[in-house]
Chain A
């Protein structure tokens, strides 16, 4: 079997397994770290800045410590992350506000 086919098979298995994990975990009660979601409900449900901070930042790296930067620094960082991660204005504003209020 060609390596490309092995990779495709691995990729399919990874997607399948992670999908089952995600759906399964969404149906279970989890320790709260601000992560009260996992269901497939509407994305339009209002989320707090704290929840968005935990979900959105973790897509690439560890969620940042709010005390790491000042209010003005978080403002610049928020714009930088909005561009890099393709965030909406609302998501960015909520996350930045949460970080500014928590530092």
Chain B
């Protein structure tokens, strides 16, 4: 017994270490388990921008926009996303809900989305509009405020992506409330004003819009994407009005080419282009004198943008510089010529005419047609130099010239931040 006692003590000593380590490991494991997230995953992201602008000689600091994005993921298949936009506009703070929807992953190539979502019409509206992604402080003509084509949907969508042989495609197909045709007559002495908006959160009729986008990536490295989009609605006017069956058809083509680390030019090249078109069936509005005028809407907008960044430069400063150039334009329909006398319908307005907000398109007085557009046909050249502080924040310096009936220059210094 005495001879085995030292051995026993030695064995106990050897055992103490592992026993203590196991206890420590279990405690550490418990601590780690306490930090382990559950199946609910919530994250807030978003973007903001602010700056200084001089437009047509008028200068102002602009406090910009705060756009938080809320992501809530439950398990592996369910995702909720929402974006708000909070900005100073006019004499107050404006709040807007850009989108709020739920996505359910059906399989490896298909997602079902339901709610309020950005229209997959072209690429700019859905993917490129955030301040830290758009390479210039302003949106291309017809792609930002007062856009040509749909931008927001209240509906249901199937979308996804898949390999297609040696290439790849992505796709979206949706049904939604569709756009609204507003015909508004505030002053009976003035012609009615008309506008088309996408804020159709309580459908104004029983006609639904059907649309979609397909993107084709023909290169192995996904450098090039060509997209085609369309949306059709058989009626966009208010229920039980003469405008209920006014149909609209929109279509768009978009192109994106991005190639990084090109040794021949010591940097990255980024080309973006898009063309939007919206056609609305001809409809008639009643003039103050009882005559009717035909309204045609065949509007289009387009832009081409080229960006170059000398990312392979040996200079750390130059490698963060980006040069951007963009040409954009918007073509709005000329109001239809005043109908010939035999085509004029002299009758009272039908009942049930909606009272809605509007923006003027044209006015007629004294039998002669005046072409007065709220926006007007315009083209714009914009040039910018960006300095990328981080991958998601940049200082933007840009100069743009907008041509309408007058030439309007603008100079911008903006700071854009994604978070």
- Interfacial residues, chain A to chain B (CB-CB below 8 A): 3-4, 7, 10-11, 14-15, 18-19, 21-22, 25-26, 28-33, 35, 37-45, 54-56, 58-65, 68, 72-73, 75-77, 79-80, 82-91
Residues from chain B with a CB closer than 8 A to the CB of A38 are 219-221, 223, 259
B388 in contact with A7 (CB, 8 Å):
no
SS class, residues of chain B in contact with chain A: strand
Residues from chain A with a CB closer than 8 A to the CB of B172 are 86
| Partner of A77 from B45, B113, B171, B222 at Cβ < 8 Å | B45
Task: Check: B133 CB closer than 8 A to any chain A CB.
Answer: yes
Residues from chain A with a CB closer than 8 A to the CB of B100 are none
A11 in contact with B273 (CB, 8 Å):
yes
A76 in contact with B219 (CB, 8 Å):
no
Residues from chain A with a CB closer than 8 A to the CB of B257 are 14, 18, 21-22
- In angstroms, Cα B308 to Cα A18, docked, is 13
Chain B nearest CB from A99 CB (Å) reads 13
Nearest CB in chain A to that of B170: its residue: A86
- In angstroms, Cα B159 to Cα A39, docked, is 28
Task: Check: B323 CB closer than 8 A to any chain A CB.
Answer: no
Nearest CB in chain B to that of A57: its residue: B391
Residues from chain A with a CB closer than 8 A to the CB of B221 are 26, 35, 37-38, 55
Residues from chain A with a CB closer than 8 A to the CB of B87 are none
Task: Check: B79 CB closer than 8 A to any chain A CB.
Answer: yes
B264 in contact with A31 (CB, 8 Å):
no
| Partner of A22 from B224, B300, B327 at Cβ < 8 Å | B224
Task: Check: B347 CB closer than 8 A to any chain A CB.
Answer: no
| Partner of A41 from B41, B166, B226 at Cβ < 8 Å | B166
Task: Check: B84 CB closer than 8 A to any chain A CB.
Answer: no
- Interfacial residues, chain B to chain A (CB-CB below 8 A): 37, 41-43, 45, 69, 71-73, 79, 81, 103, 105, 107-109, 111, 113, 126-128, 132-133, 159-168, 170-172, 215, 218-226, 255-264, 268-269, 271, 273, 275, 300, 302, 304, 306, 312, 327, 329, 331, 379, 388, 390-392, 418
- In angstroms, Cα B258 to Cα A15, docked, is 12
A11 in contact with B264 (CB, 8 Å):
no
B255 in contact with A15 (CB, 8 Å):
yes
A64 in contact with B392 (CB, 8 Å):
yes
Interface pairs (11), CB distance under 8 Å:
A7-B304, A19-B224, A25-B259, A26-B219, A26-B221, A40-B166, A79-B79, A83-B79, A84-B127, A88-B160, A89-B109
B269 in contact with A21 (CB, 8 Å):
yes
- In angstroms, Cα B55 to Cα A58, docked, is 32
| Partner of B329 from A3, A28, A43, A56 at Cβ < 8 Å | A3
Residues from chain B with a CB closer than 8 A to the CB of A11 are 255, 273, 275, 302, 304
- In angstroms, Cα B43 to Cα A73, docked, is 7
